[in-house]
């Protein structure tokens, strides 16, 4: 688990199952699911920052907003952020392919061992 953003924000825009929503400092407390997309927050100096998030949960309680997602990539520029996210997706796809291949090798090995156990003469 990693903390990507821990700073004051004047405004937050995120996307839930029902669509995009915005929050200002005096927004009511609530909890919502987040869908994969771009979370935008505005810093105290008025600069917009972007965070590509995977699915997760957003909790607004008092003055704090906490977001828990399976993956996040932060950036200043949407084009740059897109490239970072695409590279991350490619890396995850490759990791997943390697894991599936290792699992397949393990299954083949187990089947061979079970077959060999069955062919042992009594």
> Model confidence over 58-98: pLDDT tens digits?
999 988 899 998 888 888 888 888 888 788 778 877 888 88
Domain 1-76 falls in which CATH fold? ATP Synthase; domain 1 (2.60.15)
Maximum distance among all Cα pairs of the chain, rounded to whole angstroms? 80
Q: Are 74 and 49 in contact (CB under 8 A)?
A: yes
Domain boundaries, the chain: 1-76, 84-116
Residue corresponding to tokens 């392919």: 97
**Which residue, 66, 64, 70, is CA-closest to 52?**
70
Q: How far apart are CA 13 and CA 105, in angstroms?
A: 45
pTM of the model: 0.68
Q: Is the pLDDT of residue 15 over 90?
A: yes
């Amino acid at each position: 688990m990693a903390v990507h953003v821990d700073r004051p924000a004047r405004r937050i825009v995120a996307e839930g199952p029902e669509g995009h929503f915005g929050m200002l400092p005096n927004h009511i407390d609530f909890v919502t699911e987040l869908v994969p997309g771009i979370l935008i927050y505005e810093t105290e100096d008025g600069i917009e920052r972007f965070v590509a998030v995977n699915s997760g949960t957003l909790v607004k309680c008092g003055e704090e907003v906490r977001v828990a997602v399976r993956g996040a990539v932060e950036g200043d520029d949407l084009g740059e952020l897109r490239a970072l996210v695409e590279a991350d997706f490619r890396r995850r796809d490759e990791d997943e392919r390697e894991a599936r291949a290792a699992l397949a090798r393990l299954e083949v090995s187990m089947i061979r061992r079970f077959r060999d156990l069955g062919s042992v003469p009594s």
